[in-house]
């Protein structure tokens, strides 16, 4: 199943390269990467182009992660019924990689939070409500989208291990360690992509969220 893992990552990467924010911006004669924080994700699109653009980008970024996982399930579900959930994880992670590092845009994409949200929804939906509630509470009280995103990455992984140990993920026990490793990669990727934000949070210089106000690079 090693080669199949690579195929799933590739499927995800190809779909992940569909940069919703970048394409939306180009349709409106704007390169979103030259504005605000400089990334092509939903938050920067929302800040730069407004709520409609942000929601479209968010939906597109969620959708490509889900689609990559559905394709993995359709291709390999019958052949690897006990391992298809793990293969879905690889496809979802590939989508995050494609979103964050699209080769045709010189590897300059987004931060992968919306893509990871799509993965969570498709992989095990019961993890989503707590992540969403935590994100809303943090952003509402602090106005720091980056802090909310970082904490969601941690919350998601804790839930992944909890539900895995409870036997709720639909993965055989022998594959759980690998599930946790791949799951940790999602969290580490999301946190690493926010490393500059984290530095500013620690220094007290991170910009708070508000429409029409660009985030520091």
Distance between CA 98 and CA 105 in Å, rounded?
10
Helix (H, G, I), strand (E, B) or coil at 212: coil
- Among 159, 72, 80, 21, smallest CA distance to 151 is for 159
Range of lowest pLDDT (29-33, 90-94, 122-126, 200-204): 29-33
Angle among Cα 188, 194, 195 to the nearest 5 degrees reads 85
Q: Could you read off the pLDDT of 37-76 as tens digits, one per residue? A: 778 888 888 888 888 988 999 999 999 999 999 999 999 9
For 87, phi then psi, to 5°, come to: -65, -35
Predicted local distance difference test score (pLDDT) of residue 92: 98
Predicted local distance difference test score (pLDDT) of residue 44: 85
pTM as predicted: 0.91
Q: Could you read off the pLDDT of 1-24 as tens digits, one per residue? A: 789 999 999 999 999 999 999 998
- Both tokens of 46, joined, read 């929302």
Q: Could you read off the pLDDT of 120-131 as tens digits, one per residue? A: 999 999 999 999
Contact at 8 Å (CB) between 88 and 16? no
């Amino acid at each position: 199943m090693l080669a199949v893992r690579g195929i799933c990552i590739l499927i995800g990467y190809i779909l992940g390269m569909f940069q919703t924010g970048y394409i939306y911006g180009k349709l409106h004669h704007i390169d979103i990467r030259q504005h605000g924080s400089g990334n092509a994700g939903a938050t920067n699109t929302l800040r730069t182009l407004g709520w409609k653009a942000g929601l479209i980008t968010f939906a597109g970024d969620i959708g490509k992660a889900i689609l990559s996982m559905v394709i993995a399930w359709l291709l390999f579900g019958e052949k690897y019924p006990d391992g298809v959930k793990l293969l879905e994880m690889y496809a979802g992670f590939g989508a995050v990689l494609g979103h964050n590092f699209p080769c045709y845009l010189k590897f300059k994409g987004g931060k992968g939070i919306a893509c990871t949200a799509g993965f969570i929804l498709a992989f095990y939906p019961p993890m989503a409500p707590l992540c969403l509630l935590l994100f809303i509470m943090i952003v509402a009280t602090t106005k720091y989208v980056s802090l909310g995103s970082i904490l969601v990455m941690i919350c998601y992984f804790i839930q992944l291990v909890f539900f895995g140990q409870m036997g709720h993920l639909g993965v055989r026990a022998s594959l759980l360690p690998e599930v946790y490793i791949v799951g940790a990669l999602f969290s580490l990727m999301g946190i690493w992509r926010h490393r500059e934000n984290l530095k500013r949070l620690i220094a007290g210089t991170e910009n708070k969220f508000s429409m029409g106000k660009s985030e520091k690079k």
